[in-house]
């Protein structure tokens, strides 16, 4: 298996496939689309990217957007054009696709195990600057062995658990022991620390969220201090999500933030990061209007976390989402009727995008292009085959 740009031509093939499947929608108004349909307002998207670029330019840290949210080569290219340092990905195959899209600075912000994925990552690092999160010595051993075999060098970011109770070392002593181990391994380069404070986003109250973010960053930078005191250079401190990005980017010691949802925005993050537009929606059709409810044809299999979704232009709260039914509380006198087309703002955009093959890209509510969503879900689209 050899990883080179264009190896799978997966972007070209995905683009051709979705344009063949959905290309008849080009030129239609969004209200005329077959539903459910994933819709992206290209002007709102660009305004979001420009807003982030303008604000991040005023802060100490740069932006390394996490593309797990949108899984789009075209959006990623636009983020790079707007000044991103590089990209974060959640999976090896996301990194491979983004490399094929022409982006050569990639951070797989998860710990990666399994020989096929590790080998693919090491081979990708022959042609791109690739970093990966690590919190385990034996995992570092496997990465080193694969990089040596591939003739590449992998950048290593030790992951620190800043309070999320997920992956990561717990303290400075553990980080130091692991960093010293990594320093002895061939074909690995210790770059710094990563510590996603995603647990803070579960706190809607702004002051309490800020308090938790500050505690997380104090722990995070304290781990960095432990390494620095032992003579280990920590070049990169990478953290931050959409719910805390501005505070984290303002920290004088942070070098990059990993926010991603800002590009499309959703209901979960919207109240925490005001000013970004809902460029991403799902077009749906009203299929029933029983007493006290409006039911649309976009259920959990179209919306992911449907319970947080809203209908654009209508103050109706979500009642329940089943597989193919999105049910909203609505007065009997609601002007909506069966057959009406409505736009839904996703509750959680990564879980919504993952259900779809393609974006219907609109300008002034008219479809102008079809962009592929690739790769989706746990599937690697054959990238690890052969």
164 and 284 inside one domain: no
223 and 119 inside one domain: yes
163 and 197 inside one domain: yes
Give a yes or no: residue 74 inside a domain: no
- Helices 42-56 and 73-81 cross at an angle (nearest 10°) of 40
**Range of weakest confidence among 41-55, 279-293, 301-315:** 301-315
d(CA 182, CA 174): 12
Give a yes or no: residue 316 inside a domain: yes
- The confidence score (pLDDT) of residue 120 equals 96
Nearby residues of 207 by Cβ (< 8 Å), 6 or more positions away: none
108 and 204 inside one domain: yes
- The confidence score (pLDDT) of residue 386 equals 54
Give a yes or no: residue 154 inside a domain: yes
- The confidence score (pLDDT) of residue 382 equals 79
Q: What is the pLDDT of residues 79-104, one digit of tens each?
A: 999 999 999 999 999 999 999 999 99
226 and 321 inside one domain: no
SS3 of the chain: CCCCCCCCCHHHHHHHHHHHHHHHHCCCEHHHCCCCEEEEEHHHHHHHHHHHHHHHCCCCCEECCECCCCCCHHHHHHHHHCCCCCEEECCHHHHHHHHHCCCCEEEEEEECCCHHHHHHHHHHCCCCEEEEEECCHHHHHHHHHHHHHHCCCEEEEEEECCCCCCCCECCHHHHHHHHHHHHCCCCEEEEEEECCCHHHHHCCCHHHHHHHHHHHHHHHHHHHHHHHHCCCCCCEEEECCCCCHHHHHHCCCCCEECCCHHHCCCHHHHCCCCCCCCCEEEEEEEEECCCCEEEECCCHHHHCCHHHCEECCECCCEEEECCCCEEEECCCCCCCCCCCEEEEECCCHHHHHCCCCEEEEEECCEEEEEEECCCCCCCCCCCCCC
Q: Evaluate if residue 277 carries a pLDDT over 80.
A: yes
Q: Are 321 and 309 in contact (CB under 8 A)?
A: yes
123 and 232 inside one domain: yes
- The confidence score (pLDDT) of residue 8 equals 52
The residue from 259, 288, 314 where one domain ends is 259
149 and 249 inside one domain: yes
Give a yes or no: residue 78 inside a domain: no
The residue from 231, 259, 287 where one domain ends is 259
Give a yes or no: residue 160 inside a domain: yes
242 and 150 inside one domain: yes
- The confidence score (pLDDT) of residue 1 equals 37
287 and 219 inside one domain: no
Q: Which two tokens stand for residue 372?
A: 């592929």
- pLDDT confidence tier of residue 3, bands split at 50, 70 and 90: very low
Q: Provide mean pLDDT across the span 37-53.
A: 98
Q: Are 280 and 42 in contact (CB under 8 A)?
A: no
Give a yes or no: residue 365 inside a domain: yes
280 and 345 inside one domain: yes
Q: Provide mean pLDDT across the span 210-223.
A: 96
- The confidence score (pLDDT) of residue 211 equals 94
Average pLDDT, the chain: 94
Q: Evaluate if residue 381 carries a pLDDT over 80.
A: no
Give a yes or no: residue 339 inside a domain: yes
d(CA 54, CA 101): 24
297 and 251 inside one domain: no
Q: Which two tokens stand for residue 302?
A: 């179209």
Q: Evaluate if residue 5 carries a pLDDT over 70.
A: no
- pLDDT confidence tier of residue 251, bands split at 50, 70 and 90: very high
- The confidence score (pLDDT) of residue 4 equals 44
Give a yes or no: residue 352 inside a domain: yes
368 and 243 inside one domain: no
Query: Which domain, by its residues, includes 181?
Result: 104-259
Domain containing 27 — which CATH number? Answer: 2.40.37.20
Domain containing 192 — which CATH number? Answer: 3.20.20.10
The residue from 259, 291, 322 where one domain ends is 259
Q: Give the count of domains, the chain.
A: 2
Q: Evaluate if residue 384 carries a pLDDT over 80.
A: no
């Amino acid at each position: 298996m050899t990883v080179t740009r264009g190896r799978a031509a997966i972007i070209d093939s995905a683009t051709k496939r979705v344009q063949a499947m959905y290309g008849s929608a080009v030129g239609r108004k969004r209200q005329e689309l077959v539903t459910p349909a994933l819709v992206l307002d290209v002007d709102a998207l660009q305004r979001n990217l420009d807003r982030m670029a303008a604000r991040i330019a005023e802060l100490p840290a740069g932006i390394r957007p996490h593309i797990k949210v949108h899984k789009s080569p075209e959006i990623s290219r636009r983020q790079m054009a707007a000044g991103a340092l590089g990209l974060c990905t959640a999976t090896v195959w996301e990194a491979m696709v983004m490399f094929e899209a022409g982006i050569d600075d990639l951070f797989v912000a998860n710990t990666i195990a399994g020989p096929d994925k590790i080998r693919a990552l090491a081979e990708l690092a022959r042609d791109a600057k690739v970093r990966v999160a690590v919190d385990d010595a034996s995992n570092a051993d496997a990465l080193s062995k694969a990089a040596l075999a591939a003739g590449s060098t992998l950048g290593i970011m030790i992951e620190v658990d800043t309070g999320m109770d997920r992956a990561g070392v717990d303290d400075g002593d553990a980080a130091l022991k692991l960093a010293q181990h990594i320093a002895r391994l061939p074909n690995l380069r210790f770059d710094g620390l990563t510590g996603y404070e995603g647990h803070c986003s579960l706190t809607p109250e702004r002051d309490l969220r800020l308090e938790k973010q500050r505690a997380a960053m104090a722990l995070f930078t304290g781990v960095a201090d432990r390494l620095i005191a032992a003579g280990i250079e920590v070049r990169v401190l990478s953290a931050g999500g959409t719910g805390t990005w501005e505070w984290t980017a303002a920290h004088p010691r942070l070098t990059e933030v990993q926010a991603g949802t800002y590009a499309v925005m959703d209901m979960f993050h919207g109240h925490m990061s005001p000013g970004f537009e809902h460029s991403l929606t799902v077009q749906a059709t009203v299929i029933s209007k029983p007493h006290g409810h409006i039911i649309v044809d976009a259920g959990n299999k179209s919306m992911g976390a449907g319970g947080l979704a809203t209908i654009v232009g209508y103050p109706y709260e979500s009642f329940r989402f089943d597989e193919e039914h999105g049910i909203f509380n609505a007065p009997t006198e609601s002007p909506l009727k069966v057959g009406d087309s409505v736009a839904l703002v996703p509750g959680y955009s990564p879980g919504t995008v993952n259900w779809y093959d393609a974006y219907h890209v609109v300008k002034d509510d008219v479809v102008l292009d079809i962009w592929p969503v690739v790769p989706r879900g746990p599937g690697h689209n054959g990238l690890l085959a052969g």
